[in-house]
Chains A and B, each alone.
Chain A
Amino acid sequence: MAEEKKLFKVKIDNITVEVEPGTTILNAARGIGGDVVPPAMCYYSKLQGSGGKCRTCLVKVTKGSEADPRPMPKLVASCRTTVMDGMEVANITSPEVLDARKGIVEFLLINHPLDCPVCDQAGECDLQDLSYEHGAETTRYEFKRRTFDKVDLGEHIQLHMTRCILCYRCVFTADQLTEKREHGILDRGDHSQISTYIQQNLDNDFIGNVIDVCPVGALTDKTARFKNRVWFLKPVDAHRNCDNPKCCGKTVLWMRGNEIFRVTARKDQFGEVENWICDTCRFDKKDVKDWVVEGPRNIDRHSVISQGHYVNTVQPKDPLVEVLDGRQPQLLFDIHTTSQVNRPDIDLSKIDGPAHSDDFNKPKS
């Protein structure tokens, strides 16, 4: 080993930590942990070049360094700013930072559809968590929200661009993990959109990882879509001997009884994927026999996912069949776009906010 490197001393919210030169403020804060860690919606430690875009991680540098103690004039993105020796940073101790962050959350939400009740990401959505912690209860935005049509990116992935916060993580993932780049951003400003150039199929061994890096419900797994809510599922760690050399084969199975609803990569405490998994493991291995189950996954106890208490893994009898008189339960799930109860010619996804009875009134002729 080379001789020991000199460490930099940084103070974040009055807590001192020593980190290697080149560490970002965000990662230094992650080293401390707890409340002083700024929220990060776009930075992803495993994706090169990520970060700097969402601006939720803004912090105030109150002292530049020991050598140059001047504070930085503007708030900086902690995910892209490296520490200096003697630097002092204010995150939750700075009202200015909290105020700016509140503004950012508001910006991220003004065009978001807030369709959590029908979104698969609900319960494990970074934007939900962020809004809960840093957002306001009401909106000051009084205009029509931006919408896009849903598109299929190949067989397994659905893009619901309306929910996207343009964090660029999926772009970096597609760029860095898969061989042929077909996934990027078209247009600019608030009409920018993720696209695969004329909706090319994304069929690449590792493209499924874009689903895991997406902080919101813009990219979802079509093999699991609308099948269940994450908090009704039991996450268990499992692995298999995957023959794809780049795949670690270590996953989380989201189960109910013996049924595997969804397979994802394992995520760390900051919501980042620990190791990438291949599309075969993710989309095609939905039989328990394919896997060696290791045991229940530890989920943060504040998460809604850990609210479910599972005594055993026996599948409860599905009451839906009886309740619905043998009608297909699929009908209920279709409530996303049309209603079977009210006028089905009305497309619910075209209505701003929740539907009211007014929306179904027949125009008086």
Chain B
Amino acid sequence: MGRKLLLENAHIEGIRYYDTYRKQGGYAAAEKALKSMGPEAVLEEVKKSGLRGRGGAGFPTGMKWSFIAKPEGVPRYLVCNADESEPGTFKDRYLMEFIPHLLIEGLLISSFTLGANACYIYIRGEYAWIPDILEQAIAEAKNNGWLGKNIQGTGFDLEIYVQRGAGAYICGEETALIESLEGKRGNPRIKPPFPAVKGLWQCPTVVNNVETLAAVVPIINYGADEYIKLGTGKSTGTKLISACGNINKPGVYEIEMNISVEEFIFSEEYCGGIKNGKRLKACIPGGSSVPVLPANLLLKTAKGDTRMMTYEGLAEGGFATGSMLGSGGFIVMDEDQCIVRNTLTFARFYHHESCGQCSPCREGTGWMEKVLKNIEYGKGKMSDIDLLWDIQRKIEGNTICPLGDAAAWPVAAAIRHFRDEFEWHVKNPEEAQRRNFGLAHYADPLPVPAAV
């Protein structure tokens, strides 16, 4: 059994409420941080823990915190990104629903470290029932002296506010989130300036994912030295993975980052293998934005090594033969799934969610969707496949925010690894309406690389 740090106590009866959470050792980390450590020591500890952002990009959290500008007399803000709208990702929801005080405690420690006296949780609008849970937890924490003025007699003040989004994926991008929080249209800002210098209301701001901020609690509780013992290399600690698709046991799992992808999919402890005895065809390991991998490249890297469930492991081979850990939305596809259809679904999503500010993303996402629709519905041409490739290439890297890249990557990866399936759709338009391409050779062992 892998060790759990975040969801260790998540299933204890009543853990949602303060009394139980406190009895299980809750707010001990906050006490330690506020009373005996002080902001610098906490920052050092977080840096040493190697904690990386759990929102998708994996940026080292300690380093991000140390970038925050500290001009005299200007307030600083911590913003918790709970917008979680990436298809396939539902880990933050689990954490907030089951053990909200862990997040509140994490926000308290993080705000204290950053010197922020106001903290905002920006939560996805569709999570309509969670703000109540959070607000209750906030009220409980306040009643017990963990929020408000002069927290536990330390002189530190903090208020936490919950703000609901209105159903836009783009408001998960940190600067769009800030705009939305300010009551404006959720358009990503053009950077620089970065939020660390000019964020919410033009004040220095740190935006972190729910899981990132919750992970600060065990880091302080057990110490960074203990934390880095879990995981491998630069992927320290544990990670929440929301697994879905054609697996026996979909759900949210906390994994120590030292297991292989194969173990994660097939072991009884985690996904429990592919449903109905089918075979594995492909997997999108980190939420809809990251490149899809065929079974053979998923379980082993192109070099023939076992692929690990870590930041580096999933990225091994770059985009040519690898993918990304992303936000931990793990989507598994069995032999009955159609890659073209799946790519179309994602393209439609990004087309729908583009904010429309910059031309490549605004126009390109819709174009890709239309071309993919033609291919999927038997009206495609061979040249459409190259056209798709060219469109995604001209979007990627040329946009204001990473949504453009996120729209381009799934299309690029699908064509890179599953081109014959696209060609089959074009060549057999009628048959493609009746049946799927199937597993084909996507699970075949990789050719052994010539001796180097």
List residues of chain A with CB under 8 Å of any chain B CB.
51-56, 58, 74-75, 77, 80, 100, 103-104, 106-108, 110-111, 140-141, 143, 165-166, 168, 184-185, 187-192
Contacts and interface: CB of A to CB of B under 8 A. Distances in A.
Interface string B347-381: 00001111111111011111100100000000000
Interface of B: 168, 170, 185, 190, 351-360, 362-367, 370, 387, 390, 393-394, 397-400
13 contacts: A51-B190, A52-B358, A77-B190, A100-B398, A103-B393, A107-B364, A108-B363, A110-B363, A141-B367, A143-B367, A188-B355, A188-B356, A190-B351
Contact of B190 (A52, A58, A100, A165): A52
Contacts of B351: 189-190
Given A166-B362, A188-B170, A189-B351, A80 B356 contact: no
Which residue among A56, A188, A191 has the maximum number of chain B CB atoms within 10 Å of its CB?
A188
A108 B356 CA distance: 12
B382 to A, nearest CB: 14
Contacts of A75: 397-398
A53 B387 contact: no
B360 to A, nearest CB: 5
Contact of B359 (A51, A55, A191): A55
B363 A111 contact: yes
B400 A52 contact: yes
Closest 5 A-B residue pairs measured CB to CB? A103-B394, A52-B190, A192-B356, A107-B363, A189-B354
Given A54-B358, A75-B398, A190 B190 contact: no
A110 to B, nearest CB: 5
Contacts, number: 90
A189 B399 contact: no
A140 B363 contact: no
Nearest to B356: A192
Contacts of B398: 55, 58, 74-75, 100, 103-104
Contacts of A106: 394
Contacts of A185: 185, 356
Contacts of A188: 168, 170, 353-356
B360 A110 contact: no
Nearest to A106: B394
Contacts of B357: 53, 166, 168
B400 A189 contact: no
Nearest to B364: A107
A186 to B, nearest CB: 9
Contact of A189 (B190, B353, B367, B387): B353
A74 B191 CA distance: 13
Contacts of A51: 190
A140 B190 CA distance: 30
Contacts of B360: 55, 103-104, 107
A189 B397 contact: no
Which residue among B190, B363, B366, B370 has the maximum number of chain A CB atoms within 10 Å of its CB?
B363
Given A100-B394, A103-B360, A185-B185, A53 B366 contact: no
A149 to B, nearest CB: 19
B367 A110 contact: yes
Contact of A74 (B190, B367, B397): B397
A184 B356 CA distance: 13
A141 B353 CA distance: 21
A166 B364 contact: no
Contacts of A74: 397-398
A190 B354 contact: yes
Contacts of B390: 103
A75 B420 CA distance: 32
A166 B400 CA distance: 14
A191 B390 CA distance: 23
A77 B363 CA distance: 18
A69 B418 CA distance: 39
Which residue among A55, A104, A108, A111 has the maximum number of chain B CB atoms within 10 Å of its CB?
A55
A56 B399 CA distance: 11
Nearest to A187: B356
Contacts of A190: 351, 354, 356, 362-363, 365-366
